[in-house]
Amino acid sequence: MIETLLEVSNLTVKTGKFSLKNISFDLKAEEYLIVLGPTGSGKTILLETLAGLRTLQDGKILLMDQNITHLPPEQRNFGFAYQDSLLYPFLTVKDNILFGAKARGVAGETKIQKRMRQLVEIMNISHLIERYPRNLSGGEKQRVSLARAILTQPSLLLLDEPLSALDPATRQLMKNLLREIHNTERLGIIHVTHDFSEAIQMGTKIIVLNNGSIEQSGAPLDIFFRPASLSLAQFLQGENLIGGTLISQNNQTWFKPSNNEPMLGPLNDSSVNGLEKHKPVVMMIRSGNLFLHRQYDSSQEFISWSAEINHLSFDRTHVDVFCKGNGSWQTSLSLSQWLNLELSEGDLVKLSVKPENCHFISC
């Protein structure tokens, strides 16, 4: 049975005109939890409240079944790394890393020194330990800050936008490093970000925070493919968002677009479960679930329709194909798939989707 590391119940925090409202979630041991949300949604306030840096008005925080709701920060045994690293400018890298462990009274000077040497090797900063923060890059500062937090031997690591200020190459290096630390240290992590791509790549579980409340929580791919609201679908850059209604025809459910384009269906009951007929909905189909063909094999259990390639957008590995036909559509193919099709702008094609990959959101 997987142990519950952290349990948060009905957390309410007020700061000025903003408040976190009835925040509840749990974190299993060794989970990597992402708190995802736009700027101003309350992500950092939540992290600071968990760390004991803010006073809560209501709720409870349990760490391994122990009530820590009103404990001061130094008694919570959390590691905390802010976005801006917050290193002491008058201390070397080595002394910055050691500072937190010494301040907390972590036992064993020899053990701490040995552990510090292990961490700087893992994080590839052993050559920097005698430098001062002013002589470090942004990515190097982040790694020092992370090493300092881990050396305190925390029960839980809190990371506030740890990748947001880094260039793409350094960001990827830090992602790999965080995954390695999570796996090798077997350490629970709560990682705050506004970047949904980062959230999906890093997290084993995601909480979406919006305007101080949890909008949705669950496995990363569940949230990515089945957002609970239109605003969340838009925040997650959901493709192929089409407004319309669900109707019954020949004892089957169909989608009727509001733009008077032809109906799409029949749909799976599981895709429309709980949604009322003739009420406004938005259909979302992720571009990776929308298939493009020269010709469609009608024997397959797909919904299909004709379209014309409108324009293309290339990157290093994929091409996004934008089509017109029964509405506007976007599909994504690998470069090799696209080249094998031998198509170009203006060509007529078939688009198809499995009914279970049509996600409907009540409006």
Q: What is the CA radius of gyration of the chain?
A: 25
pLDDT bucket at 297, cuts 50 / 70 / 90: low
pLDDT (mean) for 244-267: 88
Q: How confident is the model at residue 299 (pLDDT cuts 50, 70, 90)?
A: low
Per cent of the chain over pLDDT 70 is 97
Measured CA to CA in angstroms, residue 5 lies from 8, 35, 186, 303, 309 at distances of 10, 16, 12, 45, 51
- pLDDT confidence band for 259 (50 / 70 / 90): confident
CA distance 353 to 267: 10
Helix (H) or strand (E) holding 248: strand 241-249
Give dist(CA 162, CA 34) in Å, integer. Answer: 12
Whole-number pLDDT of residue 64? 92
Q: Please tell me the CATH code under which domain 238-362 is placed.
A: 2.40.50.100
* Residue with token string 């990157």: 315
Question: Contact at 8 Å (CB) between 78 and 50?
Answer: yes
Q: 25: which strand partners? A: 8
User: Residue 151: which pLDDT band, with cuts at 50, 70 and 90?
Assistant: confident
DSSP 170-208: HHHHHHHHHHHHHHHHT-EEEEEES-HHHHHHH-SEEEE
Query: Residues 327-336: pLDDT tens digits?
Result: 899 999 999 9
What are the tokens at 59? Answer: 């709720």
Domain ranges of the chain: 4-228, 238-362
> Sorting pLDDT into bands at 50, 70 and 90, what band is 301?
confident
Residue 290: closest CA among 338, 341, 330: 330
Chain centroid, CA 172 distance in Å: 15
Strand 280-284, strand 318-324: pairing: unpaired
Other C-beta atoms within 10 Å of 6: how many?
Answer: 22
- Measure the CA–CA gap between 233 and 238, rounded to whole angstroms: 5
At 269-293, the pLDDT tens digits run 777 877 888 899 999 999 999 999 9
pLDDT the model gives residue 107: 57
Instruction: Give the contacts of 295 (CB within 8 A, at least 6 positions apart).
Output: 350
Mean pLDDT of the chain: 90
Q: What is the pLDDT of residue 34?
A: 98
The SS3 assignment for 13 reads strand
The mean-pLDDT minimum among 24-33, 128-137, 159-168 falls in: 159-168
129-138, 167-176, 185-194 — which is least confidently predicted?
Answer: 167-176
- SS3 state of residue 356: helix
Token digits for 277?
Answer: 């007929």
pLDDT at 1 over 60: no
Instruction: Indicate the angle between helix axes 138-151 and 109-122, nearest 10 degrees.
Output: 150
- 3-state class (DSSP) for residue 300: coil
pLDDT at 145 over 60: yes
pLDDT tier, 106 (very low <50, low <70, confident <90, very high otherwise) = low
pLDDT of 270 reads 77
Q: Which residues contact 316 (CB under 8 A, 6 or more apart)?
A: none
- Rounded average pLDDT over 346-363: 93
Confidence of residue 112 (pLDDT cuts 50, 70, 90): confident
- Residue 14: which pLDDT band, with cuts at 50, 70 and 90? very high
Question: Mean per-residue pLDDT for 30-48?
Answer: 94
The answer, yes or no, to whether residue 150 has pLDDT greater than 90, is: no
pLDDT confidence tier of residue 2, bands split at 50, 70 and 90:
low
Q: What is the mean pLDDT of residues 135-152?
A: 88
pLDDT at 250: 83
Cα–Cα distance measured from residue 212 to residue 169, given in angstroms and rounded to the nearest whole number = 32
Band of pLDDT at residue 203, cut at 50, 70 and 90: very high
State pLDDT tens for residues 163-188. Answer: 887 888 888 888 988 898 888 888 89
In the numeric block, the tokens 């019954």 are attached to 248
In the structure, what pLDDT confidence band is assigned to residue 74 with cuts at 50, 70 and 90?
A: confident
What integer pLDDT is reported at residue 3 of this predicted model?
Answer: 86
**For 4-228, CATH number?**
3.40.50.300
- Cα–Cα distance, 334 to 315 (Å, whole number): 10
Residue 322's alpha-carbon distances to 11, 30, 69, 263, 283, in angstroms, are 44, 41, 51, 20, 17
- Between CA 238 and CA 226 the distance in angstroms is 10
Task: Identify which has the larger pLDDT, 106 or 116.
Answer: 116
What average pLDDT does the segment 213-233 reach?
A: 96
